[in-house]
Amino acid sequence: MIRLQGKGVSKGLAKGPVCFYTRAEAAAISTAAADFAATCPAAEKRRLADAAAEAMRQLHALAETARKEAGEEAAQLFEAHALLLADADFTDCMNAAIESERCTAEHAVQLARDQFAALLAATDDPYMQARAEDVRDVARRILNNLAGVSECAITLNEPVILAADALSPSETLLLDKSKLLGLLTQGGSGSDHTAILARTMGIPAVCGLGDALGPALDGLTAVMDGGAGTVTVDPDAAALAAFEAARERQRVLQTQMEAVRGQPDVTADGRQMNIYCNIGAPEDLLAVQANDGQGIGLFRSEFLYMAADGCPTEEEQFRAYRAVAAAMDGKRVVIRTLDIGADKQLSHFPLQKEENPALGMRAIRVCLERPEVFRTQLRALYRASAYGNVAILLPMIASVWEVRACKRICESVMAELDAEGIPYLRDTALGIMVETPAAVLIAADLAREVDFFSVGTNDLTQYLLACDRQSGHLGRFCDPHHPAVLRAVKLAADAAHEAGIPICICGDLAADVSLTETFLAIGIDSLSVPPAMVLPLRAAIRNTTAKNCTLKKLQY
């Protein structure tokens, strides 16, 4: 029996034979100086351009496949690769190598790959380190095109736990899901795109298992826990019994969840706490409906901007917002205005480079500094309000004057629509994200200005604890269960209820079932979570008696 410990990056249990995948790379390219002397730079540049153009076509096709199979957020992984491929620095580096080295296009790609990947891998930021693998994946795609190697799905002849040194997002997407029990990799992290895709697609995955995971394990039976990051190869009777017990607990939980499908989100003693869903595009509605979501608590509109070549037009945005509002058939749809900056950068919407982007020009600050972009979005949002129960959510609010400035722009936009005879709902709800310490401390003042609060616990935790949310090195220091975070949520809830407005939580903590009782005690009115978490949370709420819930987790 062999026990391996890695990092659990996608929850779930799996048991089956290990299938170790060895990638068929493009043929190695000779780097002898004599080979370079015979190259024609102009011809090599043409070959490179053709291979890159084909790679761009492939990435857009993969994005569309991901959009259909796993939703908008998964599609953005491939759009991110397309942005990297279009990056002028990356392209210029390859062309410059062909000129200066008089080398083949293949060697130029390898030089640029190694240079850019090394720069990213050398940073202290785990998110940027994970992007080094994206560079390698884009380079691999170009090299395969240069060599005439076609990318194809990994063939699985039976249900297996697939193991590999690493898997690219495209390889993961093209896997036959009916025969894929789980994923194991030697390297990788929870921040890399393959891990994100595995979570989106509901595939148990463990990364960072190191060299102990190798071809020698091929064909052996293994059991894995994608949440705990554990893998047991060739398990003995005790290990198998423990696994089966865990799987039985999972089956019981699944049965409980199916039993609450179609049931109201109320506690055993009648306290209601609605469960809404977070989405990034109209295509994600299928997951909302499949998981019985009560509405949309957070539509991240920035994904529309990421998917477009430039800023989406008013008409493009209107169609997307209208589609969601109409499909939800009167259920609440909260749409957050453009929230870019920090870790969400757009190549066609460049922001000035900053030492501390999380503290810089982002979210509502960008909207107020670029009112023409903000007004276009608001026009689309108000127009969509005529087709459903739309609410507008302003991110990253820190001051009352920001809210008032936004309200003045909203009034101006509505006046325009009135003058043009365009229908909209004048009393469309306007809310704010409570995700800065400033917003918590002036919550009573802010609550008098808006119709609802939505707490973004991810950024709130980052700013309260002075911990970079993108860093994987902080561990126990970045504790979202910290009493300061929970007390801040209660302060916001108290202010909201004093003003007579509802409060929702839409950050990661909303889906944390261990905090559901605490949120009931605090008085949270609704939670907005990934669609797959709707039924587990509903089961937890319905099995809870609200009057027995306490605030003990707010204390040390």
CA 103 to chain centre: 39
Instruction: State the Cα torsion 414-418-421-427 to the nearest 10°.
Output: 60
* Cα 382 to Cα 427: distance, rounded to the nearest angstrom: 10
How many CB atoms neighbour CB 193 within 10 A? 23
H-helix or E-strand spanning residue 358:
none
Q: Which residues are catalytically annotated? A: 193, 506
Q: What angle do CA 391, 392, 394 make, to 5 degrees?
A: 145
**What DSSP designation does 309 have?**
S
H-helix or E-strand containing 399? none
Question: What does the alpha-carbon distance between residue 268 and residue 338 come to, in Å, rounded to a whole number?
Answer: 39
Of 180, 193, 184, give the one whose Cα is nearest residue 165.
184
What is the residue-wise DSSP string for 441-466?
Answer: HTHHHHHTT-SEEEE-HHHHHHHHHT
Burial class (CB in 10 A: 0-12, 13-18, 19+), 194: buried
Strand pairing partners for 20? 163
SS (HEC) of 359-374: HCCCCHHHHHHCHHHH
Q: How many CB atoms lie within 10 A of CB 96?
A: 13
- Whole-angstrom Cα distance, residue 174 to residue 70? 12
Name the nearest CA neighbour of 310 among 50, 61, 83: 83
Give dist(CA 503, CA 444) in Å, integer.
Answer: 13
247 vs 7, 253, 254, CA distance in Å?
20, 10, 10
Please, what is the Cα angle at 476 between 471 and 479, to 5 degrees? Answer: 85
Render 421-444 in DSSP notation, one character per residue. Answer: T----TT-EEEEEE-SHHHHHTHH
Do residues 289 and 296 make contact, with C-beta atoms less than 8 angstroms apart?
no
Q: What are phi and psi of 542, to 5 degrees?
A: -70, -20
Q: Which residues lie closer than 8 Å to 127 by C-beta, 6 or more apart?
A: 191, 343, 470, 471
Considering only CA atoms, give the Rg of the chain: 25
Dist. CA 95–CA 47, nearest whole Å: 11
Q: How long, in residues, is the chain?
A: 556
In this structure, are residues 249 and 55 in contact, taking their beta carbons and an 8 Å threshold? no
